[in-house]
Amino acid sequence: MNLHQYLKERSEQVDAALDRYLPPLDAVPQRLHEAIRYSVLAPGKRLRPILVLASAEAVGGKPETVMPTACALECIHVFSLIHDDLPCMDDDDYRRGRLTNHKVFGEAMAMLAGDALQALAFELIADNAAVVAPDRVVAVIKRIANAAGTWGMVGGQVVDIESEGKDISAETLQYIHAHKTGALLTASVLAGAILCGADAAQQQALERYGRSIGLAFQIADDILDIVGDQEKIGKPVGSDEGKDKATYPKLYGLEESRRRAHAEVASAVASLEGFGEAAEPLRAIARYIVERDL
């Protein structure tokens, strides 16, 4: 399959859907909606929504059926980026090559835009019940809420902050990655499949797939922060190291980190053994993670 073409088509569909689902600019409070749209509609890979769509396909579903949930995952991801960039957190001025939300709209508006995006995410998933059985929707909400909060993304962010400037163990680094980014990626993969009626065995396989690509993705990000160029990753190269953040290359070295990223991708692809042709996009996405100039 042509992954480049697939990603382009899917991300265009996601962008169009986000534009429909996000609060319009002519509704009150307009400045909030500007702030929300500024960050959500900034150019991005749309990895989480595309994983939702691809996992729906992998179990025989139609991607358009799960579009509201796909967009919800992007809303949660972007909400976390906006809050992460605030002065009381990472204090970043740039994100995806543009000024961060609070640099344009102010801190209060940025925080509230993030809060509104999290609420909107759960409203969108609930809306998915218009075309999907409600018990599946509830299962997905439970899973995504769990992955967004203290047992996932937020928990990982807290441990990440607490680890700044400290020597951390391999276990802690693993904890941070599995929670801060891995939990939401895994939830994305599971969401599309659950909504389209995946059975327990399929869900287990996709959960393994999600964990592996989540870890591979984070290791790849750590590596790119060292060897990548600023244009491609949208933030200054070496910005993690400058903050004395825990990273894979710091703990294992560059070569061993590369080896681990590739091993996780192989294991992700192996998890999909029982799936047919329909899982080809998921396999291609896994391989793509380590092909980004590592």
Distance of closest approach, residue 123 Cβ to a copy of itself, in angstroms:
4
Distance of closest approach, residue 27 Cβ to a copy of itself, in angstroms:
8
Buried b (16+ CB within 10 A) or exposed e, 71-108: bbbbbbbbbbbbbbbbeeebebeebeeeebbbbebeee
User: Footprint of a copy of itself on this chain (CB under 8 A)?
Assistant: 23, 28-29, 31-33, 36, 79-80, 83, 86, 88-89, 106-109, 111-112, 114-123, 125-127, 129, 133-135, 137-139, 141-142, 145-146, 148-151, 154-155, 157-159, 161-162, 175
Residue whose C-alpha is closest to residue 249's, from 277, 274, 225, 215: 225
| Nearest to a copy of itself of 32, 224 (CB atom) | 32
Q: At what angle do helices 170-177 and 153-163 cross, to 10 degrees?
A: 140
Distance of closest approach, residue 160 Cβ to a copy of itself, in angstroms:
10
Distance of closest approach, residue 118 Cβ to a copy of itself, in angstroms:
5
Beta bridge partners of 99: 94
Q: At what angle do helices 280-289 and 254-271 cross, to 10 degrees?
A: 180
| Nearest to a copy of itself of 25, 227 (CB atom) | 25
| Nearest to a copy of itself of 120, 285 (CB atom) | 120
Cα 95–chain centre separation: 15
| Nearest to a copy of itself of 11, 80 (CB atom) | 80
| Nearest to a copy of itself of 32, 263 (CB atom) | 32
Distance of closest approach, residue 151 Cβ to a copy of itself, in angstroms:
8
| Nearest to a copy of itself of 58, 71 (CB atom) | 71
Residue whose C-alpha is closest to residue 282's, from 200, 183, 216: 216
* Contact present, 213 and 265 (Cβ < 8 Å): yes
Per-residue CA distances from 176 to 135, 161, 164, 248 (Å): 31, 10, 12, 11
In whole angstroms, how large is the CA radius of gyration of the chain?
18
Token code pair at residue 267: 């294991």
| Nearest to a copy of itself of 31, 287 (CB atom) | 31
Distance of closest approach, residue 84 Cβ to a copy of itself, in angstroms:
10
Token code pair at residue 220: 């790849």
Distance of closest approach, residue 119 Cβ to a copy of itself, in angstroms:
3
